[in-house]
């Protein structure tokens, strides 16, 4: 861009219309003023304006009559453009060119653009239009076609720091490189924001002669927020949901905007990802040695998979807030979810979901069913190692399993249990939460709750819970072993104990008989649900049942009235 403008000035081939496109604070308007100074300098047109002549000083101060700067956001009507069009006809007052700078040009209305189009196509001699905008897509294509377009890229942290350093040296501001690096990072690719922050720090430090310390910069730019971001991620690394919730409460109680903190948290996650990818803290992210060391330590502790998962959870929170969810609740849920993933996240590995039981290769010949006394496992003893990423679901997992026979259809597969990988509870703890499991199942399936009321956990070996049924309750044991019910119970156990446990049922002679152990008999509706699920069929109303009863055959010979009539041609007619 700079090379093109230099060559245009040197060759006296400056175009009559330019379109400067770029994000805020990238120097679009400043470049337009430099171009105007190059054209109107007393030594010009020249690629190196002196900055000392009356024309250069007037342009820098904004008082030049030959440089008209117009805010299109405030002056976007047809009347404003007509006034501009009338002034274009006037010749330059003191310089050689008249330069019109339209800032936020995308704010002009279509009618204003149409009124301006003819002037833009055929401007008077020595007239240059510079349109500056952050959203070029909103400008009419007929306008864009008549302009030379230049795109201003967002500067890097190093480039912003160079500008801030040069300004500080010119203005005599006493600021160490660490402070200028912090200012450059906080600007987010905006020269204007960086210079505004530097001016604010000068005022905070006590005037232009006061030295700006690192503590001053951190205080103005929000060191507390930085500490809270680190504390939140520390809670995730330590797998401590309670500490994560306390951090969220501290953020909310301090009066900070939760949405802004989520923005900062997302930026912190990006810094962690870049630090992990590069093996160290990149120069554009570096601030103080303490900050850099802490960032690198968190990146190493989370690992790449953990960082990506964390960023996904942040994006999920943003989506929920956009749909109207409470911001504080979503922040708490984000941190709790991230911290509840436990040691696999801290080690930088994403846990592999277990394969659903009874969903996989089916033998061509069904095996002989075990005797009632033998324990029947209904869940795999250990997660099957696959190459599927977390959350890919049962359908993707099945593609990695060798197929021997057709698979069960996807809709028959029960949902996978939540991946709780906390410490293994004791058997007494499992026994204590079993009534809560039954109560929770009552909300999902009263039939399953009634069945489980007859069962009791017998033992816990590693992560496998064995639940016993009375010796005469094999029918109920088989119903509880249905994969849909197994996954529901495993999910409830995971939520209540904080650990993923496997489940198996067996018949136990030590259990009381069903008649003695059952506190209440199954209701008619519950028994009907069991029969329907076990043997299939449809439910009929009382009227239809009566019709079926009336139509049932009896031992007596059928009467002639019940015999279907026949036509003369032998065809049978119904009654």
Angle at 480 between CA 517 and CA 514, to 5 degrees: 15
Flag whether 44 is in a domain: yes
**468-500 tens-digit pLDDT:** 888 888 888 888 888 878 888 888 888 888 888
Q: Exposed/middle/buried for 199, CB within 10 Å: 0-12, 13-18, 19+?
A: middle
Percent of the chain with pLDDT over 70: 72
Lowest mean pLDDT among 145-154, 172-181, 214-223: 214-223
Are both 10 and 141 inside the same structural domain?
yes
Find the mean pLDDT for residues 99-116: 87
Looking at the structure, tell me whether residues 16 and 100 fall in a common domain.
yes
Same domain, 93 and 205: no
Q: What single DSSP character describes residue 150?
A: E
One domain for residues 214 and 232: no
Of 297-306, 515-524, 557-566, give the range with the top mean pLDDT: 297-306
- Same domain membership, residue 512 and residue 501: yes
Boundary-marking domain end, from 221, 247, 276: 221
pTM: 0.47
Q: List the domain range (segments joined by +) for residue 486.
A: 427-532
Rounded CA-CA distance 302/349 in Å is 9
Hey, CA dihedral for 527, 533, 537, 538, is it positive or negative? positive
Per-residue pLDDT tens over the stretch 226-282: 778 888 898 888 888 888 888 888 877 766 778 888 888 888 888 889 888 888 877
Q: For 266-285, write each residue's pLDDT tens digit.
A: 888 888 898 888 888 777 67
Q: CATH no. for residue 339?
A: 1.20.272.10
Q: Which of 261, 347, 353 is nearest to 306 (CA)?
A: 347
Same domain, 49 and 103: yes
Do 228 and 217 share a structural domain? no
Same domain, 135 and 185: no
| Bridge partners for 19 per DSSP | 131, 149
Instruction: Determine, yes or no, domain membership for 540.
Output: no
| Any domain includes 367 | no
What is the number of domains present in the chain? 4
416 part of a folded domain: no
Q: Which of 196, 221, 246 represents a domain boundary (last residue)?
A: 221
Q: Which of 325, 346, 367 is the last residue of a domain?
A: 346
Residue 402 lies in a domain: no
Which residue carries 């430090």 as its tokens?
205
């Amino acid at each position: 861009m700079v090379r093109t403008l230099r060559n245009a000035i040197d060759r006296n081939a400056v175009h009559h219309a330019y379109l400067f496109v770029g994000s805020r604070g990238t120097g679009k308007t400043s470049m337009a003023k430099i171009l105007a100074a190059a054209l109107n300098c007393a030594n010009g047109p020249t690629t190196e304006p002196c900055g000392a002549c009356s024309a250069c000083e007037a342009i820098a101060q904004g008082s030049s009559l030959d440089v008209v700067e117009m805010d299109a956001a405030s002056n976007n009507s047809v009347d404003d453009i007509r006034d501009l069009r009338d002034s274009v006809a006037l010749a330059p007052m003191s310089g050689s060119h008249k330069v019109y700078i339209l800032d936020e040009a995308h704010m002009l209305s279509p009618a204003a653009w149409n009124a301006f189009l003819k002037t833009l196509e055929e401007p008077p001699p020595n007239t240059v239009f510079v349109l500056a905008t952050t959203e070029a897509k909103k400008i009419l294509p007929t306008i864009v076609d008549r302009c030379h377009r230049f795109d201003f890229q967002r500067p890097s942290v190093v480039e912003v720091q160079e500008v801030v350093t040069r300004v500080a040296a010119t203005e005599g501001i006493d600021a160490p490189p660490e402070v200028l690096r912090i200012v450059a990072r906080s600007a987010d690719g905006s020269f204007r924001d960086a210079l505004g922050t530097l001016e604010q720090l000068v005022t905070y430090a006590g005037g232009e002669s006061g030295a700006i310390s690192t503590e001053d910069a951190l205080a103005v730019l929000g060191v507390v927020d930085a500490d809270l971001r680190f504390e939140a991620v520390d809670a995730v690394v330590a797998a401590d949901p309670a500490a994560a919730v306390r951090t969220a409460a501290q953020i909310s109680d301090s009066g900070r905007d939760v949405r802004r903190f989520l923005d900062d948290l997302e930026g912190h996650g990006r810094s962690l990802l870049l630090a992990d990818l590069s093996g160290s803290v990149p120069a554009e992210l570096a601030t103080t040695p303490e900050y850099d060391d802490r960032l690198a330590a968190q990146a190493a502790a989370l690992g790449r998979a953990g960082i990506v998962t964390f960023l996904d959870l942040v994006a999920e929170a943003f989506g929920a807030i956009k749909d109207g969810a409470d911001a504080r609740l979503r922040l708490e849920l984000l941190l709790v979810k991230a911290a509840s993933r436990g040691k696999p996240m801290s080690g930088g590995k994403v846990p592999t979901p277990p394969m659903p039981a009874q969903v996989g290769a089916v033998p061509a010949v069904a095996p002989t069913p075990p005797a009632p006394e033998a324990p029947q496992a209904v869940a795999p003893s250990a997660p099957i190692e696959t190459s599927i990423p977390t959350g890919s679901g049962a359908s993707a997992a099945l593609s990695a399993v060798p197929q021997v026979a057709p698979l069960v259809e996807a809709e028959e597969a029960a949902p996978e249990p939540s991946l709780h990988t906390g410490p293994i509870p004791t058997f007494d703890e499992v026994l204590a939460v079993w009534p809560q499991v039954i109560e929770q199942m009552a909300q999902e399936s009263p039939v399953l709750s009634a069945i489980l009321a007859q069962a009791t956990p017998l033992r816990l070996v590693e992560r496998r819970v064995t639940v016993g049924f009375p010796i005469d309750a094999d029918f109920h044991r088989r119903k509880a072993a249905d994969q849909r019910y197994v996954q529901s119970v495993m999910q409830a156990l995971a939520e209540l104990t904080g650990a993923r446990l496997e489940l198996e049922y067996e018949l136990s002679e030590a259990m009381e008989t069903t008649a003695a152990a059952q506190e209440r008999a199954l209701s008619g509706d519950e028994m009907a649900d069991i029969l329907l699920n076990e043997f299939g069929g449809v439910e009929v109303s009382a009227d239809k049942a009566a019709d079926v009863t009336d139509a049932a055959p009896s031992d007596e010979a059928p009467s002639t009235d019940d015999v279907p009539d026949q036509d003369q041609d032998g065809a049978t007619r119904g009654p």
